[in-house]
Amino acid sequence: MTTQLSPDGSTRVAGTGTSSSDGPRWGSGTKALLALTRVALGSVFLWAGIDKVFGLGYSTAHDKSWLNGNSPTKGFLSHVSVGPLQSLFHSIAGTWWADWLFVLGLIGIGAALVLGVAMRFAAICGALLMFMMWLAEFPLDKINSAGEPTGSTHPLVDYHIIYGLSALALAAVGAGRAFGLGDLWARVTKGNKLLQ
């Protein structure tokens, strides 16, 4: 007996005509793969946010951390040297609201994905954040404003696009229910589709 996931999110037991709307049903291998992918992607966001706050020495040195008075957005956004939105990114680099949105976004998106809660909202926010960062790195440009090669390996797709699409795909299949708190979260939010 096998189950099939319907486009509406319900499941149907093949050959019986019965379905369930209490969430998708997967085999243990699929469930484990979805959970690992969800936690791995979530940890990328979560770690980046925590590193910006505390300066754990990976992409942010301790003396460059937000807690030491440095801006988590200024370094990246003030050095944008490609694309049609350079001046926009330069103008918001280091502003208090951009710093707060960026760090809270990274930590919130990451925590939601790791825990498997608020997957749709987190996926939408994650995809938007990744799209904005894609615009800042603008892989369509081969040459930056200084006349140097950008090093872009693909004119459209980079890791920002992959992360954003992955978050959306995980939310679309209800991956928060795979070894996550998605089922509990669905009861707490009383079925609110955006918060699922």
Where are the chain's structural domains? 24-188
When pLDDT is cut at 50, 70 and 90, the band that residue 145 belongs to is confident
DSSP string, the chain: --EEE-TTS-EEETTT--EE-S-----HHHHHHHHHHHHHHHHHHHHHHHHHHH--SSSS-GGGSTTTT--TTHHHHTT--SSTTHHHHHHHTT-HHHHHHHHHHHHHHHHHHHHT-SHHHHHHHHHHHHHHHHHHH-TT-SB-TTS-B---SSSS--HHHHHHHHHHHHHHTTGGGSSSSHHHHHHHTTT-TTT-
Per-residue pLDDT reduced to its tens digit, 10-42: 444 444 443 345 556 788 899 999 999 999 999
Per-residue pLDDT reduced to its tens digit, 69-89: 999 999 999 999 999 999 999
Claim: this prediction has a pTM higher than 0.95: no
pLDDT tops 50 at residue 98: yes
pLDDT tops 80 at residue 3: no
- pLDDT value, residue 22: 56
pLDDT tops 50 at residue 4: no
